[in-house]
Each structure stands twice: as C-alpha cells, then as structure tokens.
Amino acid sequence: MFTAFGPHAFEGRVLVIRPDGSGLTTVLAPQGLLDYATAYGNSLKSFKSFKSFTLVSVDQATGGGTNQTTLSIAQYRPILNLFTSLQQQLPPGGEGRGVPSPDNSKFVATMSPPSQPSAVNLWLSDFSTKQFRQLTDNPPLTQDNNPVWSPDGQQIIFVRVVFSPSLSTSLMTVATQGGQPTVLLGPSDGVGQAAFSPDGKQLVFTSVNGMEVMDLSTLKRTVILTPSKLYGSPIQYQTEAIGMSWAKTQDRIVLVLINLATHQNELWTAPVTSDGSNLQKIFTADPGVVILSVTFISN
C-alpha cells in the first residue's frame, strides 16, 4: 500500500498493488469537501467484522468561503466508507506525514513549525490521550524524514537530512519514550531509505554501496544490490527518504526510486537475497506525483 500525492494540492490518494505489479486499486481518493492533501495510507489489516481500515491524515475543508482546513488523523474503514477521528488537530506546522505504531496506538508525524519552516522534527501522538509530544528538536536547514517503527514499538529510525554547509544524510534512531537521538549510520554512508526486518533484528537500507542489510546484534553489513544493479550504469535512478518496507511474511523489499530521465517516482521490489536479477518495477507514478508511506500489507 502507498500514497500517491499530487501533482496538485488536495490530490492525495491511497492505493494498493500486488508485489508483481497487478491489481492496482484506489482505496481512498478526494471527494467533495473532504480533501486528502496528505492522505497517507499507513496500515491496512484485518479489523474484526469491518474487514479493513486505513490510518490517514486528512486535510478537511471547513467551507464557508474561508478556505480554512483542519488537519487530523483518522481511522478509515473502506468497506463502510467510515471515518473515526483519532487526533483532532496536529500542532501548528503539522504536515501529518508519518506512520502508526505496530499496535496502532500511537502515530509519529513530521512537523515543520511556521516560525522555522526549514526545520522538520518528529512528534509522537498517543491516541489514548490525544496529546502530541516532540521527539526531535532540529535547527534550521535540518529535517527528519521517513520515520519507521521498530516491530516492538520501542524505537523509531529515521533519515536526518542536513542542507548546510552541504547536503548530507544520516540514519538515526530515537527511543519512543524520549531522549537524544543517536547515529546509526553517518553522512559518509549516504543513506537514502531504511526499514526493519519483521523480527526487528536486521535493517535494510540504501547507501553509497547500493542496498545493504545490517545485523543489528553484530552490526555486520552485507551488500545485496550493488549501485550499478540498483541505480543503473550509467546512473539512471536515485533514492530519497520517502519510503521503503520489508514484507512481514517473506524476504522481499519494496522501495521508491526516482527516474532521473523522467523525474517520475517508481515502485520497485526485490528479494532480500537478490543478486540484481529479480529487481522489478511494479508501478510508475504520473509526472509530478510523489509516492509516500510505502508498506506491505496482508491480504
């Protein structure tokens, strides 16, 4: 499941597609005054008799000619077309980009305060208390992107992008209870995207070495796709900190690659043990559309 956002405002759509590229289906699309400027589909699973639900952030036009909006996080049950509010209002500057915890009790979102729009931080929402608290605190020109929960819900990894004095990325981790973030992989590694294995014992990530898997107990790293196999030779693609997921029931990765010739976002899958021969493109977004919140779901 993933979100295709753009090319215009209020055009966020949540879609599902099979790993082989078949069965493309729109789960959620803008309708009437209920617009999804940031419709991030994060979790679709069995949910009692309601079959399924999606956690999304919704930008809802209030009408009356004021053009005011209320950004909130809601639970959506496609079979009933029913929304249930989980968080009425994000803090000022909230974008709503983020993901729910494995037990769907919390939500980590990216925030850019109006007074400092170039600084993007992580905030954590607890649905039981309806409160947000700040997890990271960045200076200007520093942004925390693509937060990913550990399977036990105890930590969040994310990519920190620093724009000055030169562009660099670091893979960071922060405890969900709070505290200072720590560096897992520094700027020299050039991390673009990352995801936990289903058991939480490994990380898969893109780097200057291509695609790697790291054993978190030993920190041993294994390259499973070289740069030429992942990005092409000469380089045809690049990655950004916008989406990557490891399937819960199989050793398969899905990630977003950007075609440098067309500037279009594409979805690709690959086995964790791939030698490059099974890297497969399964979806190409329309020009100007960004793919976000990529995750594997169960049938």
Q: Summarize the confidence of residues 228-241 as an average pLDDT.
A: 90
The per-residue pLDDT for range 143-188, each reduced to its tens digit, is 998 899 999 999 999 999 999 888 999 999 999 998 999 999 999 9
Closest C-alpha to 182, from 207, 210, 203, 160:
160
| Residue 88 zone, left/alpha/beta (φ > 0; ψ -120 to 50; rest) | alpha
- Percent of the chain exceeding pLDDT 70 equals 81
Name 282's Cβ contacts closer than 8 Å, sequence gap at least 6: 17, 18, 19, 20, 21, 254, 267, 268, 269
CB 172 within 8 A of CB 146: no
Q: Identical fold at 94-191 and 192-286?
A: no
Supply the pLDDT for residue 183.
96
The answer on pLDDT for 201 being more than 70 is yes
CATH superfamily of 192-286: TolB, C-terminal domain (2.120.10.30)
CB 71 within 8 A of CB 83: no
Q: Summarize the confidence of residues 292-299 as an average pLDDT.
A: 77
Domain residue ranges in the chain: 1-89, 94-191, 192-286
Supply the pLDDT for residue 278.
86
Supply the pLDDT for residue 71.
60
The per-residue pLDDT for range 10-54, each reduced to its tens digit, is 677 888 899 999 999 888 877 655 555 455 555 444 333 335 555
Fold exhibited by the domain 94-191: Lipocalin (2.40.128)
Supply the pLDDT for residue 130.
80
Question: Rounded mean pLDDT of the chain?
Answer: 82
Alpha helices in 79-137 (DSSP H): none
CB 271 within 8 A of CB 191: no
pLDDT higher for 200 or 44? 200
Supply the pLDDT for residue 64.
47
Supply the pLDDT for residue 223.
94
Supply the pLDDT for residue 91.
62
The per-residue pLDDT for range 69-120, each reduced to its tens digit, is 556 677 777 777 777 777 756 666 555 567 888 888 888 888 877 777 788 8
CB 121 within 8 A of CB 111: yes
Q: Given pLDDT bands bounded at 50, 70 and 90, which one contains residue 68?
A: low
Closest C-alpha to 235, from 206, 273, 213:
206
The answer on pLDDT for 67 being more than 60 is no
Q: Please, what is the Cα angle at 47 between 42 and 51, to 5 degrees?
A: 95
The answer on pLDDT for 214 being more than 90 is yes
Closest C-alpha to 248, from 149, 179, 128, 132:
149
The answer on pLDDT for 220 being more than 90 is yes
The answer on pLDDT for 275 being more than 80 is no
Measured CA to CA, the distance from residue 209 to residue 165 in angstroms comes to: 24
